[in-house]
Amino acid sequence: MKFNPIPQPLWLAETLRLREERDGLSDDNEACRLTRAAGGSLGERILARAGLLAPASGLLRAVQNWQRASSLAMLLLVIAAILGGGGLAFSALGSGSTPVNLPWALLSLLGLNLLTLAGWLLGLLLPGGGLFSLGRLWLDLGQRLSHEPDWSPGPAWLLLMERAGLLRRTFGLFSHGLWLLTLSSSLLMLILLLSARRYEFVWETTLLDAGSLAAVIDLLGQLPGLLGFPHPDSSQLLAPVSDDEGRRLWASWLIGSMLVYGLLPRLLLLLACLWRPLPANLLDTSLPGYARLHERLLPEQQSLGVVDPDPQLEAAPLEAPAVQPRGDGAWMVGIELYGRDDWPPQLAGVNDGGVLDDRESRRSLLERFTHQPPQRLLIVCDPQRSADRGTLALLGELQRCAGATRIWLLPAPAGQQLDPERLADWHTALDRAGLIHSSELPAHWLEHGDD
Amino acid sequence: MTDTLKLAVVGHTNVGKTSLLRTLTRDRHFGEVSHRPGTTRHVEGARLSAGGEAVLDLFDTPGMEDAIALRDHYDSLAEPGERLDGPQRIRRLLATPACAQRFEQEAKVLRSLIEANAGLYVIDAREPVLAKYRDELALLGDCGKPLLPVLNFVADPQHRGEEWREMLARQGLHAVVRFDSVAPPGDGERRLYESLALLLEPARPRLEKLIAEHATRRRERLHSAGVLIADLLIDAAACRRPVQGHPEAIATAIEQLHTDLRQREQRCVEELLQLFAFSEEDAEASELPLLDGRWGDDLFHPETLRQLGVQLGSGMAAGAAAGAGIDLLVGGLSLGAAAAIGAIAGGSWQTLSSYGQRLRDRITGHRELTVDDAILRLLALRQQQLLTALDQRGHAARQRLQLSSPEQQQWREGKLPEPVDRARAHPEWSRLNGRLETDSERQKVVQALGRQLLEA
């Protein structure tokens, strides 16, 4: 098809979309990568991607096949039209042995044409019509010849033409064009036959009388008369025409009528169906087939990777206390306890170190312990907080200051539950630090020094 | 500001920085999320673009865990009488050997904030306002970059958002963003970017561009999803299977129709997941009404219909054969008579040939199977439910979505939309009937139904 208003990249993209709709997304990682690197708007990227995927996936070949097959189909139809036209003229005039029945000849030459013309006009008026036409026939024939029943580019082409508003025009062009061809070849054959053979013309009628027939012929002869064709005398109608002058007149009349009532309408309609220029936005990016490409081609987010990698330092070895101080007395201290009603527990003979939170409170307690280390130290932690490095470092420092240290992990406040994962994290961290911990208050150990 | 806007996401460990980034980047595979403290140990970046142009670089940082000790160390470096400002002191701190050892993670955070244009300080609003958080803010504040606090987990009834606001106000941070896990992502993100635009005026145009781009994409996704669901419904409504009169043939044909329809629905589900950039492994049952990427309840079980409140129609075959309406050709012909006249005038080959077939079938005693209205309703409701879940993705909804919205009453009980009725008369529109002719009439109908589904 040399005259194809749809640009090929667009056609490829649309065919690919229909195919992906049916078969699923193609393997397009490389194509998408190259497309993203090339840049452009979403529409341009979609076309570029289709262009990159076309050769390998057989799409390009299918399109070329289809074009070839359509051209072949067109050729076949053209040949059929020419032959048909010639045959029409032949059958209308007959072999020359019998006189030619003029009204019948005219009817057989133009009848089918006028019928299909009426059908086309009716199709114009009805919505969604115009599907029964030679254009459809051509497409079907092309489809059959192209041997690609699976995903032919045909439907994509039709969709695009429809969106461009050119589909009806194209089918109209086709119908009128083929009929014009048929009628022209018919006319040519007519002229040829009339020139080469001797025909007798006769008007026959059973139903109509001479007067109305004359009126009809007069009417029919008006338009050809305007173009310069001779207007025969309708008075001698029903007698067989035998002289040369009369025959030539009638032959010209026949040719004139055919030209005016056959070829001319079709020619005018053909000119009316000529293509308009293509509208700009044929690529409808809101279709689902394209929408899911949006994220692949114009990604909203992309990873920048690791910018500052983890040097994977080994965790500093926990310093075992060189000499565990002997210490004196029992102390309990809370770390980051907040709004807990169960603190401090009432224990006899145990010093209350308070709740450590900020730097000052930590520093002052650590100073005191450095100068006067306790023999037994209970550290109370709330497992609702995270067992982060800072807290663990503090626990280590406190442990190094005291004789023996234990950790009490508070139970959940009334009506709530502890997060089991966070509790497990606490256990893991404390075990790794070598700290004895429990979820119950080791009151006896704290007060008396043994369990 | 000509380069992209750089944002460092900072905060204590386990407050949800990486989860926040996953929501903002819509990338479920960004970074690593776990309950253990100190999961993120490196700085990882993601770039957000709008219309192919890079707008925002987001950086996930390690959690700060040892701020009190670090601040202690920081303060000890200060010499009396010196006149260094905050960023200079921080740079001095970063040069100390302790920052390469004990405070290596905290140093990464400070470094990335210094290199960024602004920081998002993420707070677990359930935590009490402890001293270590104040020390974190003091250190971060000295970096000299605007900080926007983000209160996370505000949906929890036990949260202490007000206490946090007070503390932040005392530190001079008055613009605070709530990032709710239950709020729809469109809103939460928009508010975050708008607050950021207030903090960084020069960045306002590009942030507005980002907001606009997200909104556009969301609309596009919804529109495409509507078309996909409409496509499914048209395929189902237009489906017609000829079946011979005797019971075994009918049972076999019903079974086949069930299988084909289930597969078609599954395909729609997969396409929706793909559209919202979800992979089937991500589709967990708690977030989406799916089980391993498939519907848990069978399409054709009467119980499924009952659960979603769809009434069983009267034209159903007996027993458990829900979903196939036996349509006598008489009824079918009357439905399509108007279409037939139009077809002859317009000259559509397909309709004429199909009527020839149906006439022949009528004479030889064949019947037709179609899909019942109830099943169409069920399909529509289920897919809309899935669409809602996918649209709100990114914020883990704790319960399964409840189907009680009044808009869906129309699908449950009301009249079926006009495009669905039209499809009943066009068997050539259904993929389930064999080869599909992609004609523009069908496309228009699908688009119209898609729009209707979204309005519902």
The answer to whether the beta carbons of residues A357 and B130 sit under 8 Å apart is yes
> What's the pLDDT at B284?
45
Query: Is A130 in Cβ contact with B346 (below 8 Å)?
Result: yes
- Residue A239 and residue A217 in contact, taking contact as beta carbons nearer than 8 Å: no
**Chain B partners within 8 Å of A311 (Cβ):** 104
Partners of B316 in the β-ladder:
B325
Provide, as residue numbers in chain A, all residues whose Cβ is less than 8 Å from the Cβ of B443: 159
Predicted ipTM beyond 0.85: no
Mean pLDDT of B368-397: 73
Q: Is the pLDDT of residue B187 over 90?
A: no
Name the pTM for this structure: 0.74
Query: Which pLDDT band, with edges at 50, 70 and 90, does B399 fall under?
Result: very low
pLDDT tier at B7, thresholds 50, 70, 90: very high
* 8 A C-beta contact, residue A413 and residue A341: yes
Task: Return the pLDDT at A4.
Answer: 75
Lowest mean pLDDT among B142-156, B259-273, B320-334: B320-334
* B220 contacts chain A (CB < 8 A): yes
Is the per-residue pLDDT at B402 higher than 80?
no
Distances B297 to B58, B81, B262, B409 between C-alpha atoms, Å: 41, 75, 11, 21
Give the gap in angstroms from C-alpha A157 to the nearest C-alpha of chain B: 11
Query: Which of A394-403, B217-226, B273-282, B322-331 is least confident?
Result: B322-331
The angle subtended at Cα A113 by Cα A109 and Cα A117, nearest 5°, is: 155
- Give me the residues of chain A with pLDDT under 50, please: 1, 129-130
Give me the residues of B, 180-219, that contact A with CB < 8 A: 213-214, 217
The mean-pLDDT minimum among A7-21, A308-322, B11-25, B102-116 falls in A308-322
Count the Cβ atoms, other than its own, within 10 Å of residue A74: 17
pLDDT of residue B10: 95
Contacts of A425 in chain B (CB under 8 A): 35-37
Smallest Cβ–Cβ distance between A357 and the set B130, B228, B342 belongs to B130
Cis peptide before A373 (omega within 30 of 0): no
Chain A environment of B66 (Cβ under 8 Å): 388-390, 393
Query: What integer is the mean pLDDT of B154-169?
Result: 88
Instruction: Please compute the mean of the pLDDT values over residues B73-92 and round it to a whole number.
Output: 90
pLDDT at residue B216, as a whole number: 87
Q: 10 Å Cβ neighbour count for B115?
A: 15
- B244 in Cβ contact with B368 (< 8 Å): no
C-alpha to C-alpha distance for A168 and A323, rounded to whole angstroms:
99
* Cβ–Cβ under 8 Å, residues B372 and B316: yes
Higher per-residue pLDDT: B5 or B412: B5
Q: Which residues are A306's β-sheet partners?
A: B44
Residue B121 has pLDDT above 50, yes or no: yes
- Is the predicted pLDDT of residue B340 greater than 70, yes or no? no
Higher per-residue confidence, B220 vs B434: B220
The pLDDT score that the predictor gives to residue B237 is 86
Distances in whole angstroms, Cα of residue A59 to Cα of each of A16, A43, A225, A242: 7, 19, 56, 66
Q: Using the beta-carbon criterion (under 8 Å), do B35 and A155 form an inter-chain contact?
A: no
Residue B45's pLDDT band (cuts 50, 70, 90)? very high
Q: Is the pLDDT of residue B318 over 50?
A: no
Nearest Cα of chain B lies from the Cα of A117 at a distance, in angstroms, of 13
Q: What is the pLDDT of residue B343?
A: 37
pLDDT at B6: 93
Residues of chain A positioned with their CB less than 8 A from the CB of B280: none
List of chain B residues whose C-beta atoms are within 8 Å of the C-beta of residue A286: 220, 223-224
Residues 6 or more apart whose CB falls under 8 angstroms from that of B169 comprise: none
Q: Give the containing element (helix H, strand E) for B325.
A: strand B324-327
Q: Is the pLDDT of residue B5 over 60?
A: yes
Cα–Cα distances (Å) from A323 to A328, A368, A402, A434, B400, in that order, read 15, 18, 11, 16, 59
Chain B residues touching residue A151 (CB < 8 angstroms): none
CA distance B200 to chain A (A): 22
pLDDT of residue A367: 92
**pLDDT over 50 at B185, yes or no:** no
Rounded Cα distance between A321 and A312, Å, is 26
Among B25, B67, B346, beta carbon nearest to A301: B25
Contact A435, A367 (CB under 8 A): no
Instruction: Return the ∠ at Cα B134 (arms to B128 and B139), rounded to 5°.
Output: 150
Count the residues in chain A. 451
* In chain B, % of residues over pLDDT 70: 72
Of the residues B3, B57, B65, B158, the best mutation for testing chain A's interface (the one with the most A CB atoms within 10 Å of its CB) is: B65
Q: A414 at the B interface (CB within 8 A)?
A: no
Collect all residues of chain A within an 8 Å Cβ-Cβ radius of residue B37. Answer: 386-389, 425
Residue of higher predicted confidence among B365 and B122: B122
B301 touching A (Cβ < 8 Å): no
User: Can you give the pLDDT at residue A166?
Assistant: 80
The pLDDT assigned to B118 comes to: 94
Q: Do A113 and A184 form a contact (C-beta atoms < 8 A)?
A: no
Q: Could you tell me which residues are beta bridge partners of residue B9? A: B60, B120
B277 in contact with A, Cβ within 8 Å: yes
Residue A66 pLDDT: 85
- Pick from A145-149, A445-449, B118-122, B239-243 the range whose average pLDDT is largest: B118-122
A433/A441 Cα distance (integer angstroms)? 20
Q: Between chains, do B438 and A159 touch, taking CB under 8 Å as contact?
A: yes
pLDDT band at B348 (very low <50, low <70, confident <90, very high): very low
**DSSP states of A155-196:** HHHHHHHHHHT-HHHHHHHHHHHHHHHHHHHHHHHHHHHHHH
Mean pLDDT over the full length of chain B: 76
DSSP type of residue B294: B
Measure the CA–CA gap between B249 and B158, rounded to whole angstroms: 62
- Residue B401 pLDDT: 37
Q: Give the pLDDT confidence score for residue B9 in this predicted structure.
A: 94
Element (H, E) at B326: strand B324-327
